[in-house]
């Protein structure tokens, strides 16, 4: 599997956006962690700094939306939409099942922001599924 399997202009722009957003996300996580470790942040400043890492996942969602709008090849757009829907279903199943297990103290608490991680795992599973099917 190659990185830009679709080979379209829209997919190239999507990959560039995702690389940029990934760098922003990693930088935001480290920056927020550093600021919380080094300073006693409170109030509005603490909330603002805590939200900095959220820029990454929000950027991921924006980049995906832009990609679907810009993709001119209907078949490629349909395949990508299928992957995004499969990933969303995967995430919803995992977090719902885990939520009920957590409700009855059968598993430890996991922060809600892991939903995007589960969604990305689902995207990988969906890509493998599509690759296998051809």
Distance CA 12, CA 35 (A): 35
Give 4's pLDDT tier (boundaries 50, 70, 90). low
The domains of the chain are located at: 1-72, 73-134
Q: Would residue 97 be called left, alpha or beta, if left means φ above 0 and alpha means ψ between -120 and 50 degrees?
A: alpha
Evaluate whether 1 touches 127 at the Cβ level (below 8 Å).
yes
pLDDT tens digits along 18-53:
999 999 999 999 999 999 999 999 999 999 999 999
Give 90's pLDDT tier (boundaries 50, 70, 90). very high
The pTM score is 0.82
Distance CA 121, CA 20 (A): 20
Give 134's pLDDT tier (boundaries 50, 70, 90). confident
Please list, in sequence order, all residues whose beta carbon lies within 8 angstroms of the beta carbon of residue 6, skipping any fewer than 6 positions away: 71, 73, 76, 80
**Average pLDDT score over residue span 58-66:** 95
């Amino acid at each position: 599997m190659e990185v830009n399997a679709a080979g379209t202009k829209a997919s190239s722009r999507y990959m560039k956006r995702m690389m940029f957003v990934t760098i922003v996300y990693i930088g935001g996580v480290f920056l927020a962690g550093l600021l919380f470790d080094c300073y006693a942040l409170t109030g509005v400043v603490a909330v603002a700094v805590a939200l900095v890492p959220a820029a990454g996942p929000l950027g991921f969602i924006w980049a995906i939306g832009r990609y679907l709008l810009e993709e001119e090849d209907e078949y490629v757009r349909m395949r990508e939409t299928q992957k995004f829907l499969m990933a969303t279903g995967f995430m919803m199943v995992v977090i719902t099942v885990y939520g009920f297990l957590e409700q009855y103290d059968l598993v430890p608490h996991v922060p809600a922001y892991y939903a995007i991680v589960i969604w990305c795992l689902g995207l990988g599973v969906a890509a493998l599924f599509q690759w296998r099917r051809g």
